[in-house]
Amino acid sequence: MLEDKDLVSVQEVRTKVEKAYAAFQQYRRFTQEQVDSIVESMAAAARAEAERLAVMAVEETGYGNVPSKVAKNMLCADLLPRRMRGMKTIGVIRQAREEGIIEIAEPVGVVGAILPTTNPTSTAIYKTLIALKSGNGIVLSPHPRAKACTCATTEVLKRAAIASGAPDDIIQCIFTSSIEGTNALMRHPRTGVILSTGGSGIVKAAYSSGKPAFGVGPGNVPVLIEDSAEVTQAVRKVVEGKSFDYGTVCSSEQTIVASEALREKILGELKASKAFLCSEEQGKALSRVLLNERLAVNADCVGQAPAKIAEKAGFTVPGDVSILVVEIGGVGKQYPLSAEKLSPVLAVHFVKDFPRAVDACEAILRLGGLGHTCVIYSKDDARILEYGKRMPAFRVLVNTPAPQGSTGITTNVFPSMTLGCGAMAGNITSDNVGPQHLINIKRIAYEVRTAAEAFPDQAGQPAAQSAGIDRNKIAGAVDRYLSQRGIRVAGVAPTSGAGGNIAAEVVDRFLATRGSNPAPAPAQAGCGISPSSESSARPEPPPADFVCEYDVRLAIRESRKIPVSPKTIVTPSARDLAAQHDILVTSKPV
């Protein structure tokens, strides 16, 4: 009797989503301590099985290499749980008494997790840990070509979770995976959110499902080696990143961009790092075998060893070659190897200077990696900042291999296998996705002011003033505070006594910055605030201790100078404005 695989897959999805949802109803009542204990147990079990699962992944999919897949498994089973320790995700997660706010985490329910074929075991560990850390259940849908290793990983995690007290069905894996089954998972009424990793088609399907979804775009990572960089170290790190798991990570380096002045040095260091520099004809052959006319990657070349890819292109390279390198003359569809290659093939592109290098890196990202990741090697902080501000990418990595830096192995970004590309790439987030994205937050908010206090009254005065603030009392308190510390205010002569003129001036300035126009205090001879016929007899005010922009604007209106000394603190905005109007004058400190 023939079996309809799609129908079997859809029915399996329906059954397992319902089981996960029922288990979630129990799990949502667990405490933070219970949840954290379960997560730690799962992580420990995954660490113990990291190598076995890596071997399974390589044998089943044919992608990547075992050492790199072990490293990815450990990223998710070791570094990730260490980063999550102490993170509040259950119940009350913040109490701000002074704000009158209490925040409570609300889990999303059942996480529908779509798994890739390139990183099947590490992504299963990552998604399961962040789902349970945030109080949710999870149903994993493996890629059909990675079903065995994904389900084996899930079983390791599930056994550990149950042994630590988790409900039996809180983790589910679809054994009969299919496109129809995956679509059913994404559209199931009990699915709370979708975590989708894979090609652009499955990501678009996730966003089209009608469910909240975290899907990410492709990466086409440019690497700018700037003139101040330590070239030997930079090239070594680029090769380390590009050869990692044979280029299967979406944040793997794709093209080095550098000035012509560094050309011979970079090519020499690539050779020293066992990179194979292809001839022009070999580069064209690689282009034909790796990419089609739409710049889509040939699946038979994804994550393959350099020697195997070279063989497919019709030439041979030594067995110990780390990566294949092709020099290209520009960026765009007419230069196919400037696109993402998902293999240990690296393009290099040399330009005249730094501005043109930045232009080229931006063009590479816009060709197919919008919002994802870029890298710069440099010792020049100004140029690093300029590059970071210019690049349309949300992970700008500095002096680090790209896969390791983007996923949090060598940087302090959140350890993750789902790297958001932001609105510019049609993604819901630009973050490295973690458990904080799988909770909603409810807020208990106490009244802290009346509506009358929140808005200005009809006369335009702040409601707090109309509610009875006594200016003289505030002035007295301020005067006592200033007197105790010997502080002088810009342009104001010292006085003594509660409610004195320094304090009154400070209060008036404070109120003026908030839209108030308080009535001036009665003028007193020699106060240094209100003009009078005796002003010419007043002593020159001593230098101010502190000058802000408001002080300068007040002095401009009153056509007077502000005396300062070398010890006076002047805010940058005040100094700029004062320079335009020649307001500050230097006098000897008193």
Crossing angle between the packed helical segments 354-368 and 381-390, to the nearest 10 degrees: 30
Run of H or E residues at 96:
strand 91-96
Asked if residue 549 and residue 531 are part of one domain, the reply reads yes
* Residue at which a domain ends, from 443, 467, 500: 443
User: What span, in angstroms and rounded, lies between the C-alpha atoms of 589 and 586?
Assistant: 9
Q: Is 173 labeled as catalytic in the residue annotation?
A: no
Asked if residue 238 and residue 188 are part of one domain, the reply reads no
Residue 426 lies in a domain: no
Residue 432 lies in a domain: no
Instruction: Kindly report the CATH number assigned to the domain that includes residue 84.
Output: 3.40.605.10
- Answer positive or negative: Cα dihedral of 479, 485, 486, 490: negative
Asked if residue 40 and residue 178 are part of one domain, the reply reads yes
Asked if residue 249 and residue 157 are part of one domain, the reply reads no
The encoded tokens of residue 208 equal 């089209």
pLDDT at 522: 43
Instruction: Kindly report the CATH number assigned to the domain that includes residue 343.
Output: 3.40.309.10
Asked if residue 77 and residue 190 are part of one domain, the reply reads yes
In whole angstroms, how far apart are CA 205 and each of 117, 212, 249, 550? 17, 12, 21, 55
Asked if residue 147 and residue 13 are part of one domain, the reply reads yes
Asked if residue 249 and residue 113 are part of one domain, the reply reads no
Q: Which of 217, 74, 42 minimizes the C-alpha distance to 138?
A: 42
Residue 560 lies in a domain: yes
In the chain, pLDDT over 70 holds for what percent of residues? 85
Q: Which of 287, 381, 400 minimizes the C-alpha distance to 343?
A: 287
Asked if residue 200 and residue 64 are part of one domain, the reply reads yes
β 324-327/276-277 pair status? parallel
Count of structural domains within the chain: 3
Residue 419 lies in a domain: no
Asked if residue 225 and residue 149 are part of one domain, the reply reads no
Give residue 142's domain range: 5-216+437-443
Residue 416 lies in a domain: no
pLDDT at 530: 38
pLDDT at 201: 81
Asked if residue 581 and residue 568 are part of one domain, the reply reads yes
User: What span, in angstroms and rounded, lies between the C-alpha atoms of 194 and 217?
Assistant: 15
Q: Which of 76, 151, 250, 301 is catalytic?
A: 250
Residue 310 lies in a domain: yes
State which residues of the chain have pLDDT below 70.
1-3, 457-540, 588-590
Residue 518 lies in a domain: yes
Total residues found in the chain within this entry: 590
Asked if residue 250 and residue 190 are part of one domain, the reply reads no
Asked if residue 335 and residue 203 are part of one domain, the reply reads no
Residue 97 lies in a domain: yes
